[in-house]
């Protein structure tokens, strides 16, 4: 039969060792039917075949972003971004017109507010936000989504002004006046604020609780939630993305994604985790997680991994460190906040492994990473070695002694190049001030980890940074030079592309069906505007997706 689609005149990166390069490929019935030269493949065309001229651009397997928060990222496409804004005057100039343009919002909500947004060394408080907007609730997310700052009206509306009890690892920071000062650390503290957003906090439930909306979402709310997720999926497809690994999960998101698939609006394959919180009893995992996995086993919507947080982030002093932070962040011997007790965390890892789940753990500080490695090692001792492909997410600071343990224990390093201070997105000097000099060698140690033989996969953690692929590739292959104290961790282009495609297919146990341009593989493909191998590393962001194909169907085509 003639091909449904032929892509020709391309510079194919196939990740097929038997045929690493080619010019063209043919798609039939949602599967790659043939890969070869233009002459070979064009001979397979029929009168109804759609021809896509790649114009010499790179053609490669569709990008898979292996760490995103789809629902929240989709919602935040419509929120006011304060990225790059500095100082109260600039904040006021951005926020007040936005508030006036959205009079019906119960909460004026902003995102991407840097920890140093005031530019004075002063931490943002409710009083600062009151000076911008006093008569309506106002709140803003830090880029890492581990801190929210809220004004007095928002704190009053949520009952947080007087403080209150929060989960372990979370904190309502109190002021000298005995009232909350507006800084809310971690989901257990800021969860009530999110309940005021346009989507009633449903967009973050998979992160804050791992449970479903209560009371259940109304039909109108479900429709609104699906529409915003559909918009987010279209935004991902426009980057050449064909697959997503969500790192927050509940049945509600799985239901919405399944409905979107039935409606023909699911433009990316989605893996959704069971989210286990540090406050959850072990029995919740044992009774609920297998049932959730069994209910969602499709090739486009699937539950296969289990997500946990062991710590917070460096900038707020909540990432777990082996010794107190330097300076004020280390006051009173602060080494970060324990989200799980180690005993409970280890028990959870052992049980998740016994149940056959792939485990993904947010671990950022060197103590958090060590505790995670220790717990995964304990799971292997308890249950025996298997092809688990357990993952540690972020690994922003790791003790050099622990780096070889990743490969030894077959632990996958799930990294986000754009998060690093050398990644061109965040201020280059921000994180370094919170680390001791001897910790720098193990900070964002991408290449050091790769050279030990550990498997490395790349992602964005959208909406912590944009889901756009090319800026993250630039962060990996052309990182900033931060001086002699920071070892060069530059990645090669081919390693980077593999970690965004082939290896992300592998880490989701789908290496036999996708991640390569090879006959018989599913047709998940990205056609780019440029030949990536011909661009200088620091010019890689000139390239963009021209056409995205998922399961043999075009999900994005660049206008013009």
For 309-350, how does the pLDDT look when each residue is reduced to its tens digit (9 = 90+)?
A: 999 999 999 999 999 999 999 999 999 999 999 999 999 999
Burial of 94-118, coded b for 16+ CB within 10 Å and e otherwise, reads bbeebbeebeebebbbbbbbbbbbb
For residue 509, count CB atoms less than 10 angstroms from its CB and return exposed for 0-12, middle for 13-18, buried for 19 or more: middle
Q: How many CB atoms lie within 10 A of CB 344?
A: 18
Task: Report whether pLDDT(551) > 90.
Answer: yes
pLDDT, average across residues 496-520? 98
Name 550's bridge partners. Answer: 553
Is the pLDDT reported for residue 483 higher than 90? yes
User: Helix/strand/coil (H, E, C) string of 280-297?
Assistant: CCHHHHHHHHHHHHHHCE
For residue 119, what pLDDT is reported?
A: 87
Cα separation, 491 vs 503, in Å, equals 15
**Which residues is 6 bridged to in the sheet?**
26, 51
Those residues with Cβ within 8 angstroms of residue 37's Cβ, 6 or more apart along the chain or in another chain = 22, 23, 24
Give the mean model confidence (pLDDT) for residues 472-485. Answer: 96
User: Region 365-376: what's the mean pLDDT?
Assistant: 98
Q: What is the DSSP letter of 6?
A: E
**pLDDT the model gives residue 423:** 97
Question: Can you tell me the mean pLDDT for 525-535?
Answer: 98
Q: Is 414 helix (H, G, I), strand (E, B) or coil?
A: strand
Q: Is the pLDDT of residue 226 over 90?
A: yes
pLDDT value of position 167: 86
Q: Alpha carbon 25 to chain centroid distance? A: 31
The total number of residues shown for the chain amounts to: 560
Mean pLDDT value of segment 355-366: 98
Average pLDDT over residues 433-448: 96
Q: Nearest to residue 36, comparing CAs of 8, 1, 2, 4?
A: 8
As a whole number, mean pLDDT of residues 25-50 equals 98
- Per the CB < 8 A criterion, the answer to whether 210 and 175 are in contact is no
CA–CA gap between residue 348 and residue 406 (Å, rounded): 19
CA distances from 477 to 87, 485, 536 (A): 32, 19, 10
Strand order in the sheet with 274-275: 274-275, 305-309, 358-363, 391-394, 412-415, 456-458
Q: 342-354 and 282-295 are packed helices; what angle lies between their axes, rounded to 10 degrees?
A: 30
- Residue 91 contacts residue 151 (beta carbons within 8 Å): no
Query: Residue 169: which pLDDT band, with cuts at 50, 70 and 90?
Result: confident
Confidence of residue 272 (pLDDT cuts 50, 70, 90): very high
pLDDT at position 560:
79
What's the pTM value of the predicted model, to 2 decimals?
Answer: 0.96
Confidence of residue 120 (pLDDT cuts 50, 70, 90): confident
The confidence band for 286, taking pLDDT boundaries of 50, 70 and 90, is very high
C-alpha count within 13 angstroms, C-beta hemisphere, residue 520: 4
- 429 has a pLDDT exceeding 90: no
Sign of dihedral through CA atoms 324, 326, 327, 328?
negative
Mean pLDDT of 427-450: 94
| Torsional sign, CA 468, 472, 474, 480 | positive
Q: How far apart are CA 175 and CA 127, in angstroms?
A: 11
Tell me the pLDDT band of 121, cut-offs 50, 70 and 90: confident
Q: What count of other Cβ atoms lies within 10 Å of the Cβ of residue 359?
A: 24
CA distance 555 to 16: 24
Q: Is the pLDDT of residue 28 over 90?
A: yes
Q: In whole numbers, what is the pLDDT of the chain averaged over residues?
A: 97
199 confidence band (pLDDT: 50, 70, 90): very high
Cα separations (Å) of 471 from 240, 424, 474?
A: 13, 8, 5
Q: Looking at residues 148-154, what average pLDDT do you find?
A: 98
For 279, counting Cβ atoms within 10 Å of its Cβ (0-12 exposed, 13-18 middle, 19+ buried), the class is middle
């Amino acid at each position: 039969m003639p091909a449904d689609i032929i892509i020709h005149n391309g510079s194919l990166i196939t990740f097929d060792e038997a045929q690493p390069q080619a010019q063209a490929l043919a798609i039939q019935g949602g599967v790659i039917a043939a890969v070869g030269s233009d002459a070979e493949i064009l001979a397979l065309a029929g009168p109804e075949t759609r021809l896509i001229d790649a114009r010499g651009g790179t053609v490669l397997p569709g990008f898979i972003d292996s760490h995103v928060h789809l629902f929240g990222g989709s919602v935040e496409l419509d929120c006011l971004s304060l990225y790059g804004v500095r100082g109260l005057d600039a904040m006021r100039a951005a926020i007040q017109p936005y508030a006036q343009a959205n009079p019906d919002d119960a909460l004026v909500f902003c995102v991407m507010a840097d920890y140093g947004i005031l530019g004075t060394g002063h931490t943002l408080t409710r009083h600062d936000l009151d000076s911008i907007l006093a008569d309506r609730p106002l709140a803003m997310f830090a880029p890492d989504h581990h801190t929210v700052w809220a004004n007095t009206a928002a704190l009053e509306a949520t009952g947080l002004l007087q403080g209150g009890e929060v989960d372990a690892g979370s904190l309502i920071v109190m002021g000298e006046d005995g009232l909350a000062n507006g800084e809310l650390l971690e989901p257990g503290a800021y969860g009530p604020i999110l309940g005021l957003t346009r989507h009633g906090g449903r967009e973050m439930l998979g992160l804050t609780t791992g449970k479903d909306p209560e009371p259940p979402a109304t039909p109108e709310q479900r429709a609104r939630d699906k529409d915003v997720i559909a918009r987010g999926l279209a935004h991902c497809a426009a980057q050449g993305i064909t697959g997503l690994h969500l790192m927050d999960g509940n049945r509600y998101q799985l239901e919405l994604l399944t409905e979107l698939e039935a409606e023909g609006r699911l433009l990316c394959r989605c893996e959704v985790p069971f989210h286990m919180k540090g406050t959850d009893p072990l029995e919740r995992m044992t009774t609920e997680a297998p049932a959730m996995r069994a209910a969602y086993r499709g090739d486009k919507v699937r539950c296969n991994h289990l997500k946990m947080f062991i710590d917070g982030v460096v900038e707020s002093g909540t990432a777990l460190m082996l010794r107190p932070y330097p300076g004020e962040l280390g006051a009173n011997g602060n080494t970060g906040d324990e989200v799980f007790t180690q005993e409970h965390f280890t028990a959870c890892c052992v049980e998740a492994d016994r149940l056959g789940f792939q485990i993904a753990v947010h671990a950022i500080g060197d103590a958090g990473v060590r505790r995670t490695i220790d717990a995964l090692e304990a799971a292997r001792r308890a249950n025996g070695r298997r092809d688990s492909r357990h993952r540690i997410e972020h690994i922003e600071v790791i003790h050099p002694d622990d780096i070889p343990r990743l490969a030894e224990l077959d632990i996958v390093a799930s990294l986000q190049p754009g998060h690093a201070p050398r990644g061109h997105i965040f201020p280059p000097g921000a994180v370094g001030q919170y680390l001791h000099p001897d910790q720098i060698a193990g900070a964002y140690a991408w290449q050091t980890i790769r050279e030990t033989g550990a498997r490395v996969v790349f992602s964005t953690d959208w909406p912590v940074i944009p889901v756009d692929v090319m800026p993250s590739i630039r962060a990996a292959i052309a990182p900033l030079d931060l001086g002699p104290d920071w070892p060069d961790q530059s990645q090669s282009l081919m390693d980077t592309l593999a970690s965004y495609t082939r290896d992300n297919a592998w880490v989701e146990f789908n290496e036999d069906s996708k991640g390569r341009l090879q006959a018989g593989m599913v047709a998940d493909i990205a056609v780019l505007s440029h030949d990536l191998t011909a661009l200088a590393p620091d010019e890689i962001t000139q390239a963009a997706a021209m056409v995205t194909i998922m399961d043999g169907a075009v999900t994005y085509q660049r206008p013009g």
